[in-house]
Structure formats: structure tokens, C-alpha cells
Amino acid sequence: MLQQLLERLGIHNYESLTAEEKKTYEEWGRILVSPNVSVDDVKKLLEKENSRANEELRKFDIPKDRLIFYQALAHLTGALTLFIDTPAAQREALRAHLKQTFKVEI
């Protein structure tokens, strides 16, 4: 895609670009091939932030404003994790119920 852009601009050789142009070209290339953030990526971030918040909350000499911040962070990351995990947990609970009640595996 970027090669097509260069050709449309009349540039047929990457080496003819200036250092700044090469840097921009490479950055555009990285952006175009970078993967989207997945739900698992978000869950990992939430888990790390929740752990960090809980570590801070275990400290004895934490100022009140930081205490409030980390309490809110722990609550929010926990709530978001629950929000993400609930559909999967509900599906598993329903599957277990159907298997136990009707001897059907879905």
C-alpha cells in the first residue's frame, strides 16, 4: 500500500527519500500492520492496574487523596473485568445446567 503511494508520488526508490521521510514512511508502515487491541489485551491491562491499585492500598502511610484514587481504580478495574467476563461465565453456567438437566452438551 505504501509502495503504491510512493509510486503515485513519482518516487520509485525508497533510498531516494530523506531521513525524515524514511522515518515517516516506516512509522506509517508500523501503524498499518499493527494489530487491533483485543479483549484479552484489555483484560491483561485491567488485571495489572487492579494489582497495582491493591498494592498501593496495602500501604499504611498513603495520603487520603491517593487512597481515594486507588480505591476508585480498584473498584473500576474490578467492575470492568466483571463486565467483560460475565457473558462467558453465563454461557458456561447455562451449558453446565443444560448438561446436568437435559444431558445435552452444547
Instruction: Please report which confidence band the pLDDT of residue 68 belongs to, taking 50, 70 and 90 as the band edges.
Output: very high
Neighbours of 98 (CB within 10 A): 13
pLDDT at 72: 97
d(CA 62, CA 69): 11
d(CA 33, CA 79): 32
pLDDT at 49: 97
Q: How many residues are recorded in the chain?
A: 106
d(CA 98, CA 72): 38
pLDDT at 20: 95
Closest CA to 55 of 73, 34, 40: 73
Instruction: Please report which confidence band the pLDDT of residue 104 belongs to, taking 50, 70 and 90 as the band edges.
Output: confident
d(CA 77, CA 56): 14
Q: What is the domain partition of the chain in residue ranges?
A: 2-33, 39-102
pLDDT at 58: 97
User: Could you report the per-residue pLDDT of 10-57, keeping only the tens digit for each?
Assistant: 998 889 999 999 999 999 999 999 999 999 999 999 999 999 999 999
Are 6 and 12 within 8 A, CB to CB?
A: yes
